[in-house]
């Protein structure tokens, strides 16, 4: 049997069984030798008796010699068997000595292996204890982390709730700063405003006021959205109120010029390259009272834009006037920024006229097949529905936006303003 395929205990038991078998064989040989010695002793006794008989009875000498020869031959045979038995016992004894030596060597190796196993078991026990201590420490740390995580989550929830409440309150403030729908319709009866922030508060804002028989309307897109954009929108609303109501400036190009100058002055303390600014479209509409209409028959719309267009429909065709390619707050390439002036455009209103100003949030919105809505598609919506009432147009534009956006995320604030001037 292959030693590697059995255990230590089985192998030792096998060797013990072999030794017992050899001991039994030795005992057998010893018994046989003892029997032969007995027989030899019997023969000697018989020879003595025969000698005594020869002496006493003087028997025939030749027959006695023959008997002695026979006994001697038998004795020699038994003697040879005894010698062979002794040789076998000697060989077995040598085999036993060799087996004993082999067993001692194997026992020594087994003891060495056992000592190594003890060392391995001891090392394993030490490692097990260390791992157990480490696992216990990790468990305690994990438990503490879970407790801290739970506290942080609770704190985050409370903080988020407070921030959300603050932003919702900021939204109310922002909405209060902009004209409501009723005040807009008091000045422009047939009009709509579609204003949809990306977040709770918006970087887009719309603004309107009436002064000196003129209605000033503005659609402004501040850099960014959310809270930063809302802060810029509050700044823009305050500056527009100051420029128009305090300084009395009613020309749209001059309004943009002063708005740009004031924004640059407010942000000039920052040495970093800033991106804060605004894109804006401003329209000034003549609002001649009834008792002056017989003296002033002409009605005009004055427009100026900073990267925002002015779109109107006349004679069934779409007309677009581009704004100047300089945002409010953007550094001018001219050496003296005061040398730059925004362009004023004048449109005569000799028939009912639909006009639209808007931020770029609608046209840049991704939708079907990952494409933007585009300015051309937005103008087509204006053209196809310009004969409908402004309220109907608002609903159509809102639906167009929601259908186009679908499951896509809204990427920017959206503002679209439409007016019909007669």
pLDDT tens digits, one per residue of 154-192: 999 998 899 989 899 988 999 899 988 778 888 888 999
Residue 144 domain flag: no
143 belongs to a structural domain: no
Q: What is the pLDDT of residue 60?
A: 60
pLDDT confidence of residue 47: 73
Q: Is residue 376 part of a domain?
A: yes
Same domain, yes or no, for 258 and 330?
Answer: yes
pLDDT in tens, 315-345: 999 999 999 999 998 876 555 566 789 999 9
pLDDT more than 70, % of the chain = 90
Calpha distance 117→409 (Å, rounded): 66
The label of the residue with tokens 């049997």 reads: 1
C-alpha angle with apex 21: 13 to 99, nearest 5 degrees?
65
Report how many domains make up the chain.
2
Listed residues 90, 114, 129: the one ending a domain: 129
Last residue of a domain, one of 106, 129, 152: 129
CB 323 within 8 A of CB 305: yes
Q: Are residues 185 and 107 in the same domain?
A: no
Token digits of residue 345: 């455009």
Residue 237 placed within a domain: yes
CA distances from 142 to 112, 132, 145, 150, 153 (A): 44, 15, 5, 12, 16
CB 207 within 8 A of CB 179: yes
Q: What digits encode the pLDDT tens for the residues 2-60?
A: 555 667 677 778 877 877 887 787 778 778 777 777 777 777 787 777 777 766 655 56
Statement to judge: residues 112 and 25 lie in one domain: yes
CA distances from 344 to 265, 284, 314 (A): 23, 10, 19
- The answer to whether position 31 is within a domain reads yes
| 360: pLDDT strictly greater than 60 | yes
| Residues 208 and 89 grouped into a single domain | no
| Rounded CA Rg of the chain | 59
Res 419: pLDDT: 94
pLDDT (0 to 100) of residue 293: 62
- Per-residue pLDDT of 140-155, as tens digits, reads 999 999 999 899 999 9
Tell me the CA distances in angstroms from 328 to 121, 260, 278, one per residue in order.
79, 5, 5
Res. 208: pLDDT tops 70: yes
- The whole domain housing 340 covers 179-421
Higher per-residue confidence, 107 vs 290: 107
Measured from the Cβ of residue 387, the count of other Cβ atoms closer than 10 Å reads 11
Are 99 and 248 in a shared domain?
no
Q: Which pLDDT value is given to residue 414? A: 97
193 with 101, same domain: the answer is no
Asked whether residue 84 is assigned to any structural domain, the reply reads: yes
* pLDDT at position 120 over 80: yes
Domain for residue 241, yes or no? Answer: yes
pLDDT of 211 over the 80 cut? yes
Q: What pLDDT, in 10s, does the model give residues 26-42?
A: 778 778 777 777 777 77
Q: Which residues contact 309 (CB under 8 A, 6 or more apart)?
A: 281, 320, 321, 322, 323, 357, 375
User: Is 217 a domain residue?
Assistant: yes
- CATH number at 107 reads 1.10.287
């Amino acid at each position: 049997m292959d030693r590697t395929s059995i255990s230590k205990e089985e192998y030792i038991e096998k060797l013990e069984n072999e030794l017992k078998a050899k001991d039994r064989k030795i005992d057998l040989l010893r018994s046989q030798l003892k029997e032969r010695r007995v027989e030899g002793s019997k023969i000697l006794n018989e020879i003595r008796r025969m000698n005594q008989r020869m002496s006493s009875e003087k028997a025939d000498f030749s027959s006695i010699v023959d008997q002695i020869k026979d006994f001697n031959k038998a004795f020699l045979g038994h003697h040879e068997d005894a010698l062979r038995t002794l040789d076998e016992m000697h060989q077995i004894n040598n085999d036993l000595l060799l087996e004993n030596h082999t067993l001692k060597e194997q026992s020594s190796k087994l003891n060495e292996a056992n000592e190594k196993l003890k060392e391995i078991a001891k090392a394993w026990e030490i490692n097990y204890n260390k791992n157990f201590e480490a696992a216990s420490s990790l468990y305690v740390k994990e438990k503490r982390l879970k407790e801290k995580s739970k506290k942080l989550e609770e704190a985050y929830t409370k903080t988020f709730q407070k921030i959300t409440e603050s932003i919702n309150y900021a939204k109310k403030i922002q909405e209060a700063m902009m004209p409501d729908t009723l005040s807009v319709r008091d000045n422009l009866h047939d009009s709509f405003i579609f204003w949809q922030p990306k977040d709770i508060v918006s970087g887009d804002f719309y603004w309107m006021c009436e002064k000196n028989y003129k209605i000033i309307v503005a659609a402004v897109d501040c850099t960014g959205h959310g809270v930063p954009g809302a802060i810029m929108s509050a700044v823009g609303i305050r500056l527009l109120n100051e420029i128009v109501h305090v300084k009395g400036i009613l020309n749209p190009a001059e309004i943009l010029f002063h708005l740009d100058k004031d924004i640059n002055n407010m942000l000039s303390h920052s040495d970093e390259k800033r991106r804060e600014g605004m894109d804006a479209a401003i329209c000034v509409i003549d609002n001649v009272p009834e008792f002056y209409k017989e003296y002033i028959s002409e009605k005009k719309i004055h427009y100026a834009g900073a990267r925002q267009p002015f779109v109107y429909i006349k004679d069934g065709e779409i007309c677009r006037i581009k704004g100047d390619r300089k945002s409010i707050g953007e550094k001018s390439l001219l050496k003296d920024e005061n040398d730059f002036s925004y362009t004023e455009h004048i449109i005569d209103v000799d028939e009912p006229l639909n006009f639209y100003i808007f931020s770029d949030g609608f046209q840049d919105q991704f939708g079907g097949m990952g494409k933007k809505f585009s300015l051309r598609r937005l103008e087509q919506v204006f053209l196809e529905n310009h004969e409908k009432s402004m309220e109907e147009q608002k609903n159509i534009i809102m639906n167009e936006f929601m259908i186009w956006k679908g499951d896509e995320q809204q990427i920017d604030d959206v503002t679209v303003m439409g007016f019909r001037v007669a």
